[in-house]
Structure 1
Amino acid sequence: MNRSDVLVVGGGPAGTALAAELAALGLDVQQLAPHGPRPFPATYGAWLDELPASVQDGTQAVWTDVRVYTGAAPTPLLRPYALLDNAALLRRLRGRAEWRWTQGAALCAERAGDGGWAVQGTQGERWQTRLVVDASGHGALMQPLHFSGGPAPQTAYGVVARFARPPISPGSMSWMDYRTPAPELRRGEATFLYAMHLGGERYFVEETSLIARPAPSRAELRGRLLARLGAQGTPPLSIESEEWVAFPMNAAAPTPGPVLAYGAAAGRVHPVSGFQVAGALADAPRVARALADALAAGTDAAAAGWQALWPPDRHAARRVQLLGVEALLALRRDELPPFFGAFFGLPPADWSRFLAQDTPAEELARIMLRLFAQAPGRVRLRLMQAALGHPRLGAAALGAALRG
């Protein structure tokens, strides 16, 4: 039977980052994933200033011309945005230390007689460890997440393609483009274009539904993307790869359990932006240190990890963020562009802090009040209705604002 100090379930960037930090602290780490080490397949973008310094040079591209379109004219965001180089990120993390990577999938975990854990694999394998970390993504194999009213997903369909005519301004990145050049884009859920110029004729273009219940399907978003590109006279010449994204945005702060979750499995997806990877990379050293100290002292390592990952101030902030989620879900399709027009009309320090992973509840609430004051009348009414419809979340936000 395989034995380790820590068994990390999941082969994505969150689990790999934590495994790397744990191994660098001298722990015997085993990482379990359905595949061997390989570059992460998804497209990961992040604000450059939110990436840890150790990985900022592991980017595929960085744009200083970052735009949002909530009307005909662009709003420049004046904040550098990065596309991660997934192969370089994996090399950097794997270069931190040595640990075992095992190909397989976990079925369940149960307490062992020595106080540790026995993890059973889907093919009958068994692994023994002192601590289990579930970094399996939003599926959360061992620590189910809670979603008020059910999961509210973000979905997106994108392609890397070559274009004869640029679909966005060369050298730029469109973080959110709510313009509707095709009739298909004026029906159903409001979706936006998220796009990056990758150099030369290559662009990444993605039609995105930020959050919806129910969410648009892959086929619907693919049709909307192709309709958008065709209507603006920029159909792709050739498609190199496709990407489909679907994950829930509205996870509540989880209740700590005997298995530590990490990354998306721990509900660390930002409820408004959908970002998670930069936060997981930044959290990894602190969480790893808490786990290593607890294991060395013979105390409850899972409890120490939960405390490091979800301290009380993060719980409070999540309650305020979830009010923002309910506000987004309450807005009609024609109200989303003016809402984000008001949001990105706030001082850059405000909207940047609202989208950050670790902004305190008091500051989030104050920013929400400023946004409420600046929003158009019909949007302001919808925001008020969302707060009244969720009195617990509204009271948490108001209380946080008053405390601040």
Structure 2
Amino acid sequence: MGNMHYDVCVVGLGPTGRGLASRCLAAGLSVAVVDPRPDRIWRPTYSAWLDELPEWLPPTVVATRVEAPTVWATTEHKIVRPYVVLAKHELRRALPIETAHVEAQRATGLTQHRVVLADGRALAATVVFDARGLPPVRSRPAASAYGVFVDAGRAAALVPPGEALLLDWRPENGAGEDDPPSFLYSVPIGDGTVIFEETTLGVPGGLPKAELRRRVLNRLAHHGVELAGTETDEACHYPLDQPPPRRFRPLRGPIPFGSRGGMMHPCTGYSVADSLARVDTAVAALVAGTDPVAALWPTPARTVYWMRRRGLAGMGRLTREQSAAMFDSFFRAGPRQQRALLSDPADPSALGVALVNTVARTWPFDWRYDLVGWRNRKRWAGAATATTADD
């Protein structure tokens, strides 16, 4: 192996890294992959808008499909756009890497053409991709969530069969108006359970798991949803402002890809569908011998990312009432404007219209000052630390 040279080395085998490696192999490239646990089944729940998924994924990767999910802000909105939860075992099966060279260990050093392994050996490749996920949150604007999986029969009082709650801002979680806001996300998983997940987006440092757990249990109790005591749970905590690779990046470094490379949506925290949809763009650049970063990040995509970062900053300083009013305003936009914010990676003109109209239609008028940053720019700074201390 010491004399082997690969076309591509992918470090990190989450859905994004595995998808990139699999599509490189399908294009005839030689591939090495590095991950301490290459055979693990991913723990998080992955969801997407159906039209975001690349056409090469088989329909078996969809575990559940909801035709028109619900958003509760100050009023109810139905989003007529199919939304899906992914079947993790089927997704993994759809991304084969059997012909890749697999190193089941940690990478301790990455450069543009070389990966140093924990045992001291090294892999050489024409291109190295870093798909290891995100660095620590610290005080960065974060997505934090705690979810519990409830039997669908017990959950029907809040989420009937065939329904889903993408955002529920109703004041039912026991948090006060002087607390950082959070909303409920609840979708059927496809295994007979429904996840109820209390989520916060954009709060610097995020919120601790214990606080989010209290809030989701309060919501369930409010709706009379009783727990059996045997439910499983999941939690996540990650930064939302990971930038794309610089246009003129140092030549010595690897190419960050997926959530590590700017494909984490700053306003929603979604990354898997967008990353998989961009995999073939990277592969085509590799086959053509051109720069994958330039192909992945043309000017419209960079502009969209910058605009979404502005949206993230606005969300991260709102109260619950203000957040509900802002989302009421946003979901009155047309389908193209909604998609420009929620999923389209390269439609800056429609995104600009969506952002301007959202600010203009948010009411009361003075709440717009918070949204654009003229007031309360650091409203929730230190809130996560204070909440942890209260625990």
* Distance change >3 Å, CA 386–CA 187, structure 1 → 2: closer
Quick one: distance in 2 between partners of 1:366 and 1:257? Answer: 35
Aligned residues: 368
**Which residue pairs with 1:132 in the alignment?**
128
Q: CA deviation at 1:384?
A: 3.8
* Per-residue deviation, 1:329: 1.8
Matches within 5 A, 1:43-62: 43-55=45-57, 57=59, 58-62=61-65
- Whole-angstrom CA distance in 2 between matches of 1:322 and 1:387: 18
The Cα of 1:133 is off from its aligned counterpart by: 0.7
Unaligned runs of 5+ in 2: 378-391
Corresponding position of 1:344: 331
Query: What residue in structure 2 maps to residue 103 of structure 1?
Result: 104
The structure carrying a bigger helix percent of its residues is: 1
2:200 to 180, 195, 209: 209
RMSD: 2.5
Aligned pairs for 1:365-380 (under 5 A) are: 365-376=352-363, 377-380=365-368
Label 1:101 to 1:151 Cα distance change in 2 as closer, same or farther (>3 A): same
State the alpha-carbon separation in 1 of the partners of residues 10 and 155 from structure 2.
45
1:68 aligns to 2:56 (yes or no)? no
- Among the aligned pairs, what percent are the same residue? 26
Letter of the 1:133 counterpart: F
1:296-342 CA distances to partner (integer Å, 9 max, x unpaired)?
A: xxxxx6xx011112122222222222211121123223211111111
Match of 1:159 among 148, 151, 159: 148
Return the match for 2:313 from 326, 331, 342: 326
CA distance in structure 2 between the aligned counterparts of 1:200 and 1:281, rounded to whole angstroms: 24
Of stretches 162-171 and 328-337 in structure 1, the one that deviates more from structure 2 is: 162-171
Residue equivalent to 2:15: 13
Query: Post-superposition, which runs of at least 4 consecutive aligned residues in structure 1 deviate over 6 A?
Result: none
TM-score normalized by the length of structure 2 = 0.87
Match of 1:353 among 336, 340, 355: 340
Cα displacement (A) at 1:182: 4.2
Q: Do the aligned residues in 2 keep the contact of 1:159 with 1:239 (CA within 8 Å)?
A: no
Go from structure 1 to structure 2 and tell me whether the alpha carbon gap of 1:313 and 1:198 turns closer, same or farther (over 3 Å shift).
closer
Given the alignment, which residue of 373, 378, 382 partners 2:370? 382
Q: Cα–Cα, structure 1 residues 232 and 68, in superposed 2: closer, same or farther, change >3 Å?
A: same
What's the CA shift for 1:238?
A: 4.3
Whether the aligned pair in 1 keeps the contact of 2:114 and 2:128 (CA below 8 Å) is no
SS in 1 for 2:95: helix
Alpha-carbon spacing, 1:388–1:335, altered in 2? closer, same or farther (3 Å): closer
1:197 matches 2:188: yes
Contact 1:326 1:386 (C-alpha < 8 Å) held by counterparts: no
Matched, 1:251 2:263: no
Distance 1:380 1:231, change over 3 A: same
Q: Which amino acid aligns with 2:69?
A: V
**Alpha-carbon offset, residue 353 of structure 1:** 2.0
Check whether the contact 1:182–1:227 (CA below 8 A) recurs between aligned residues. yes
* TM-score w.r.t. length of structure 1: 0.84
Which residue does 2:386 correspond to in 1?
A: none
Which residue number in structure 1 is paired with residue 384 of structure 2? none
Per-residue Cα deviation, 1:200-242 (whole angstroms, up to 9, x for no partner): 8621111100221131111111111112112221032244432
